[in-house]
Structure 1
Amino acid sequence: MSEQPLPTTGRAWHLENRPTGTPVPSDFALREVEIPAIDAGQLLVANEYLSVDPYMRGRMSDKKSYIEPFEVGAPMDGTAVGRVLASNAEGFAPGDYVTHFLGMRDYAVVDAPTAQKVDPNLAPLSTYLGVLGATGLTAYIGLTRFAKIKEGDTVFVSGAAGAVGSAVGQIAKLQGAGRVIGSAGSDEKVKLLTEEYGYDAAFNYRNGPVAEQLAQAAPDGIDVYFDNVGGEHLEAAIGALKLHARIVLSGMVSQYNDEKVVGPRNLWNLAVTRSDLLTFMVTEELDLQPDFVRDVGGWIGAGKLHFQETVVEGLENTMEAYLALMRGESVGKMIVKL
């Protein structure tokens, strides 16, 4: 039987305009692109799952950030997992599955050093973009290296039903936290936090001021705040800190579309409580990845760590999946299946 010819064209999402405020569909375009022949040290990958993530909003702007912005008129990228169709690199063969950073398209020519093999027999492919991928690693690094959970800590997590937040609360409990509190944007998500993810308390931030609801859930204050939201949540958490508390800044999704970001008004409470405000970049902490795979993989295998995914099918629906994510309509990790 003759081999199937390799594709010479594919489709890729392009940034058409830099959004002002909330992105709209016309800011993006799905275009046909040529697929070049692979050079030495490269792979041709057929993407099977794509990740869409809140950080992408920052890349749509040309403001200085920790990562290069998308170029207007050029293909976008993101994390993906797919099957190797052709390899010109040692250690990779057709049929291997890899994660890489050229998502937002159906086919990708990938430099082999930027690809990582994954085993589809150990876990579903999509999990390598979520709980066993960058989002799970974000939660693990933020808690293990920066929050440094202590036995009995009270931990507050914003965006707790999201891909990162749902892992944070569970990992904190597994690391010895005494009480874990989460906020989410719907009553259904609040129920999910307490009934499936093991949160001790949770509240719907749309039902009233965050500070008041947090005070009810943690009347004695909090030792750790894992921030995925920013804004009102960050100010409320700063106001609830115990002595020597730790705040880990993971994301500020409430402010990504806001052109006039205003910081919390009570920063002085960090000094009053001698608390730490901590930030990190996952790519600078990858020495923890073997521990992450061992611990999180073991917890999943033992049924101690649960996760959910929201799956949207079709490359053509990728940007609608992203916009739905930013509207808070997903539960767990948002994945696009090709």
Structure 2
Amino acid sequence: MQKQILLKKRPKETPTHNDFEVVETSIGTPSDGEILVKTIYISVDPYLRGRMNDTKSYIPPFKLNEVISSGVIGQVIESKSNRFDKNDIVLGSLGWQEYNIIKEDSVRKINTNIAPESTYLSVLGMTGLTAYFGLLDIGKPKEGETVVVSGAAGAVGSIVGQIAKIKGCRVVGIAGSEDKVNLLLNDFGFDAAINYNTQDVGVALEEACPDGIDVYFENVGGTISDAIFPLLNNFARIPVCGAISAYNTAEDIGPRVQTHLIKTSSLMQGFTVGNYSSRFEEGIQELATWLKDGRLKYEETITVGFDKTIDAFLDLFKGANIGKSLVKVAEIEK
């Protein structure tokens, strides 16, 4: 038997434990062309909140009373596939459960000689690729420009800022605690960092960005973003990756952005990393090179135990994580 986590009801605002259900079910055995995968790491991500709503989006909503899924790294325990051997380490979008039986084309094997397996859910995974393509393809940072990142100590934001530094930019991060501000300045090499809980963001941005803002990487939305628009330079670029401040609210009302965009001829473009799926290998190779060269660092908040998966997800909306949030479910069998 194994445990799995279902979506019991759709959250109205911030999710709680009551919106989920933990049940036990049989593990089962794979059929021809299938593999049995033991869950090692589960990725918990803010975008999953949107999938809990029954609304149209870029990805279908979760169904009630069915297993929640996200990025998972696992170990092949039993294989009836010609593609995988027992003990292979694989990555895919799998269920929040201790074991998954899946078709052989549902996952890909990862190379743990390049970097630890967890990095394929963080700096070498969807978060790293989101930062890479969002910043470079939409933000198009140029040497000497000013790049501002909200949610800067998070999984995506921390990578965005470092890539911007690699490209020769002045980088300003916005985060929610002094510990995170210190991390941005001392570990990730940001030029300036703002604590939105203790500082007036508008005033602090004016001081940190004396030459205006050329690229704003949007992860948060809300009043933080409202402070950005008056400081945009002509032809600024705004990759819109997320808006976590609005994920648990019924209405998100604020200043209108159109006038600022017109006055500065700025580009504001939403995206998801799936838009770049045909170029993932390009991104992984570049990120891996920077990681190997020591130009790219990463942080992971790892919660241990399958029973803590819901807690780890809920902690995202409290700002409790630094870098990528993962749940370590089990050790790899040797």
TM-score (norm 2): 0.95
Contact kept in structure 2, 1:155 and 1:226, CA below 8 Å: yes
Matched position secondary structure for 1:165 = helix
- Corresponding residue for residue 332 of structure 2: none
After superposition, what is the alpha-carbon deviation per residue over 1:52-89, rounded to whole angstroms, capped at 9, x for unaligned? Answer: 00001111111211111111111111110010112222
Contact kept in structure 2, 1:239 and 1:266, CA below 8 Å: no
Q: Which amino acid aligns with 1:302?
A: D
Q: Which amino acid aligns with 1:74?
A: E
Contact kept in structure 2, 1:310 and 1:334, CA below 8 Å: yes
Deviation at 1:290, TM superposition (A): 1.9
Pair 1:18 & 2:10 matched: yes
Deviation at 1:321, TM superposition (A): 0.6
Q: Which amino acid aligns with 1:29?
A: E
Please point out which of 46, 51, 58 is paired with 1:54.
46
- Corresponding residue for residue 5 of structure 1: none
Pair 1:331 & 2:322 matched: yes
Please point out which of 313, 318, 322 is paired with 2:313.
322
The Cα RMSD (Å) is 1.3
Pair 1:88 & 2:84 matched: no
Pair 1:275 & 2:275 matched: no
Closer/same/farther in 2, CA of residues 281 and 144 from structure 1, 3 Å limit = same
Please point out which of 182, 201, 216 is paired with 1:225.
216
Contact kept in structure 2, 1:238 and 1:267, CA below 8 Å: no
Segments of 5+ residues of structure 1 without an aligned counterpart are: 1-8
- Corresponding residue for residue 155 of structure 1: 147
Deviation at 1:148, TM superposition (A): 1.2
Matched position secondary structure for 1:257 = coil
Q: Which amino acid aligns with 2:166?
A: L
Contact kept in structure 1, 2:302 and 2:325, CA below 8 Å: yes
Please point out which of 224, 227, 231 is paired with 1:236.
227
Whole-angstrom distance in 2 between the partners of 1:210 and 1:265: 18
Please point out which of 182, 185, 189 is paired with 1:194.
185
Contact kept in structure 1, 2:194 and 2:204, CA below 8 Å: yes
Q: Which amino acid aligns with 1:88?
A: K
Matched position secondary structure for 2:163 = helix
Matched position secondary structure for 1:79 = strand
- Corresponding residue for residue 136 of structure 2: 144
Deviation at 1:36, TM superposition (A): 3.7
Q: Which amino acid aligns with 2:11?
A: P
Whole-angstrom distance in 2 between the partners of 1:70 and 1:327: 23
Whole-angstrom distance in 2 between the partners of 1:105 and 1:225: 37
- Corresponding residue for residue 236 of structure 2: 245
Whole-angstrom distance in 1 between the partners of 2:199 and 2:306: 38
Pair 1:102 & 2:94 matched: yes
Whole-angstrom distance in 1 between the partners of 2:86 and 2:209: 53
- Corresponding residue for residue 63 of structure 1: 55
Moved over 3 A (4+): none
Contact kept in structure 1, 2:149 and 2:173, CA below 8 Å: yes
Matched position secondary structure for 2:70 = coil
Deviation at 1:136, TM superposition (A): 0.4
- Corresponding residue for residue 4 of structure 1: none
Q: Which amino acid aligns with 1:38?
A: P
Contact kept in structure 2, 1:100 and 1:110, CA below 8 Å: no
Pair 1:214 & 2:205 matched: yes
Structure 1 residues 254-263 or 327-336, which shifts more? Answer: 254-263
Q: Which amino acid aligns with 2:272?
A: M
Matched position secondary structure for 2:69 = coil
Deviation at 1:40, TM superposition (A): 3.3
Pair 1:312 & 2:318 matched: no
Q: Which amino acid aligns with 1:124?
A: P
Deviation at 1:253, TM superposition (A): 0.6
- Corresponding residue for residue 185 of structure 1: 176
Contact kept in structure 2, 1:14 and 1:72, CA below 8 Å: yes
Deviation at 1:228, TM superposition (A): 0.5
TM-score (norm 1): 0.94
Deviation at 1:263, TM superposition (A): 4.2
After superposition, what is the alpha-carbon deviation per residue over 1:197-241, rounded to whole angstroms, capped at 9, x for unaligned? Answer: 000000101113322221111022100000110111222222211
Q: Which amino acid aligns with 1:244?
A: F
Pair 1:262 & 2:247 matched: no
5 Å-filtered alignment, 1:100-139, equals 100-139=92-131
Contact kept in structure 1, 2:67 and 2:95, CA below 8 Å: no
State percent identity of aligned pairs.
43
